Amino acid sequence: MPTPSALRNALPTLLLATGLLAVTGCDRDQVSRSAPAPQGPAAAPVAMPPAMPGAAPGGMSGEVPPPPTPNAPLKWTLPKGWTSAAAGGMRFATLTPPGPGKAEVSVVVLPGAAGGEAANVNRWRGQIGLPPMDDAGLAAARQTVKCKAGTVAVFDFTSQGQAQSRMVCGTLVTQDGNTWFLKLMGDAPAVTNARKDYLRLLETLHLD
């Protein structure tokens, strides 16, 4: 049996060992609490269905078909200072008047009646926030301009509000059955300034 003197000499060593055990136990407990939980197996990727043959890639709607090629393209004389540029998509041409502000004439040709006058006029009105009109309102709003290519039906509309837009739309059905649309549209002041020259341009329309 150890003597009291031996016990006193061994006491510091015992205390040190006990402290180390306590610290080690704390570290193990801390590690066990902070260790991340095991993750389950990764989800398998979802297989996408194959694309349909001939379908456009996702997010793309495909190209706009070109306008029909008329047998006798419409011709005109540009007012002084105006410029003309060929246009893609559904546009046959784009005509731009001079002066400040935003305004341009889009020239489009479509086969046949192209939906009819009432549907087109109300679609134009909707583009500048105006309600549709009935047949009586359509007849009251229609003006005409005579030219060598025929009679152009002209409609003139201005939007409401502070930032006003204005459009002056001319429609002409030619002898080959195509319908031509010449639409002057833009900021109301710029369209107002270009309107007189635009009407003169309509008078010069011809096919020969």
pLDDT in tens, 108-166: 999 887 778 999 999 999 999 999 999 999 999 999 999 999 999 999 999 998 889 99
Q: pLDDT tier at 11 (50, 70, 90 boundaries)?
A: very low
**Residues whose CB falls within 8 Å of the CB of residue 96, separated by 6 or more in sequence, listed in order:** 82, 83, 84, 85, 103, 104, 105
**Residues whose CB falls within 8 Å of the CB of residue 44, separated by 6 or more in sequence, listed in order:** none
- For the domain bounded by 83-203, which CATH number is listed? 3.40.1000
Q: pLDDT tier at 2 (50, 70, 90 boundaries)?
A: low
Q: Which of these, 172, 173, 167, lies nearest to 155 by C-alpha position?
A: 167
Least confident of 2-6, 48-52, 181-185: 48-52
Is 50 exceeded by the pLDDT of residue 53?
no
- Asked whether 85 and 93 are in contact (CB, 8 A), the reply is yes
Q: Domain spans of the chain?
A: 83-203
Which DSSP symbol is given to 60?
A: -
What was the pLDDT predicted at 169? 97
Instruction: List the strands of the sheet with 143-147, edge to edge.
Output: 83-86, 91-96, 103-111, 178-187, 165-173, 150-158, 143-147
What was the pLDDT predicted at 70? 62
More confident residue, 199 or 162: 199
**Residues whose CB falls within 8 Å of the CB of residue 91, separated by 6 or more in sequence, listed in order:** 67, 106, 107, 108
Is 50 exceeded by the pLDDT of residue 63?
no
pLDDT tens, residue by residue, 129-141: 999 999 999 999 9
Q: Which residues pair with 180 in a beta bridge?
A: 109, 172
Alpha helices in 109-187 (DSSP H): 117-127, 135-141
Is 60 exceeded by the pLDDT of residue 6?
no
